[in-house]
Amino acid sequence: MTWLQILLVVAFCFLAAFFCQHNDGLYHQTIYQVDQVQNGRAVKMTDEFQNVDHYHTQQLYGTITNGKHAGQKLHIKNSYSDSHAMDHQYTKGQKLFITVHTQPKLHATVKDIKRDAPIAFLFAIAISLLFVILKLRGVTVISSILINTILFWLAIKIDHNNNGAAVILIFSILAVIFCFVTLILVMGWSKKMLVTLSAVLCATAATILITLIVFGVTQERGVYYESMQYVTQLPKPLFIAEVLIGVLGAVMDEATDIVASLATLKQERPQLSRMDIFKSGRQIGKSIMGPLINVLFFIFMAETLAMTLLYLKNGNTWHYSFSMNMSLGMTSSLISGIGIVLTVILSSAFAGLWIKGDER
């Protein structure tokens, strides 16, 4: 990266954050800016498990920045704990989403913190780096993300309108569309893309089929669907749909790497036989399979770390804490691992069968 590119990236990121700091008028929700904070005394609290926490009270003084009450001064009371488990400590300069009440007089309660500025800053960094590093190919990557986001939103809307009656079918169709759109944008229309598409779809389908067979044989013992909180539809189909999308992402990443590497190898050494290509694909798969499985494991398990620690702090056993928080994440990791292993075999086999020496 040149100094000019670095300066442009920094400027773009700060402009994005600045815009989000001053876009209150675009929101329908009422926004409140904290101008002054007065902190009260702390009260020590101890529960039956001897966990100690401190509760504080705050007096917030600020101004409503949008809506029909814009410009009005308002005083809001807030309480929070040191653990911040269910609350927040607010500081001067923060902007908050509030609910305004007019009876018996104008007052408000805090709903949440306005967080769009840091999120916009991170988005700006990601987009800038894509353009700087990938140049015009960054446009295709961003386009695929935007299209897939819209498709995902549409799938959720369709599932909601059907009350979850066909969640597996909906997300299976979505997975096929995801795969096709992403690969056509990233790799272009070529035999290499078709090989990757075939490997991804076959590996994903085989993985889900194996999962359903294992669940049927074991009668799903040890799979605690009740740990899926706030689920308003049948948890098993929803979990299968979650796993389907998760497996698809891991499988697509791996298949793309393997097929692209084998296509380059075949281009440079066209005399290689199909078996040589297959063996080379297995060697490539071995080198990326371990790190990829571990990355997925860390992602799945990290999501549940906070709740697991909370369960342990409240006197629950390791077995119960793991079962109610980490068991589904562990199951998802194992299923994804199966998909990753199958992808190595299928990608190598399809590449050996279909990629010729002149295929890029």
Element (H, E) at 31: strand 30-39
For residue range 204-213, what is the model confidence (pLDDT) as tens digits? 999 999 999 9
Are 35 and 155 within one domain?
no
Q: Residue 1: what pLDDT?
A: 64
For 32, phi then psi, to 5°, come to -125, 125
Confidence (pTM)? 0.76
Q: Residue 142: what pLDDT?
A: 83
> In which residue ranges of the chain is pLDDT below 50?
358-360
Distance (Å, rounded) from C-alpha 15 to C-alpha 10? Answer: 9
Q: Residue 86: what pLDDT?
A: 77
Are 293 and 206 within one domain?
yes
Are 106 and 192 within one domain?
no
Q: Residue 198: what pLDDT?
A: 93
Question: Is 127 among the domain residues?
Answer: no
Structural domain of 43 = 3-117
Cβ atoms within 10 Å, residue 164 = 18
Are 186 and 300 within one domain?
yes
Within 8 A by CB and 6+ apart from 346, the residues are 198, 199, 202, 203, 206, 255
Q: Are strands 95-101 and 73-81 parallel, antiparallel or unpaired?
A: unpaired
Are 56 and 189 within one domain?
no
